[in-house]
Amino acid sequence: MTLVPLVGLCDKEKLRILKRLDQFREWNSLDDRRYCLVCGEIITGRELRVIRDKAGKAPQRVACPTDDCNAIPMEWVWPTDDVLIKIAMVELECCHLRLMTQAGRALRLRKKDRTS
């Protein structure tokens, strides 16, 4: 089965497809946002890709717009405060780690300077 993206959908149609294929959370508009648990991106209904079987005309599934992300609607959660805080914490952690690495490198360089 070859899956191809379904393009050229009007907003109304796309929203209807989203509502039908995402049975976990309701979509009120294409501007609704979701947090993808797989790739960690905030996505909107507008960005989602609708995939269909090449042979058939009916839309088969909706896919995350992120390259190589195969998340399914079940993995798209509402970006509530909880989720947004978690994202911020992870980003902070990454930033913190980067700073630590840089500081460590700087310290090592300084030590090298002193010993040589």
25 Cβ contact list (under 8 Å, min separation 6) = 34, 73, 76, 77, 78
- Looking at the Cβ atoms of 25 and 111, the one nearer to Zn ion is 25
Q: How many residues at the interface with Zn ion, by CB under 5 A?
A: 7
Our finding on whether 39 is near Zn ion (CB under 5 A) is yes
CB atoms within 10 A of CB 46: 15
Selected range binding Zn ion among 18-26, 29-37, 95-103, 108-116, rule: CB under 5 A? 29-37
Q: How far apart are CA 47 and CA 59, in angstroms?
A: 16
Tokens of 63: 């896919």
The type of residue at 74 is M
Our finding on whether 51 is near Zn ion (CB under 5 A) is no
Our finding on whether 38 is near Zn ion (CB under 5 A) is yes
Our finding on whether 63 is near Zn ion (CB under 5 A) is no
Q: How far apart are CA 85 and CA 106, in angstroms?
A: 31
Residue from 51, 69, 72, 83 in contact with Zn ion (CB under 5 A): 69
Our finding on whether 36 is near Zn ion (CB under 5 A) is yes
Interacting residues toward Zn ion by CB under 5 A: 36, 38-39, 64, 66, 69, 71
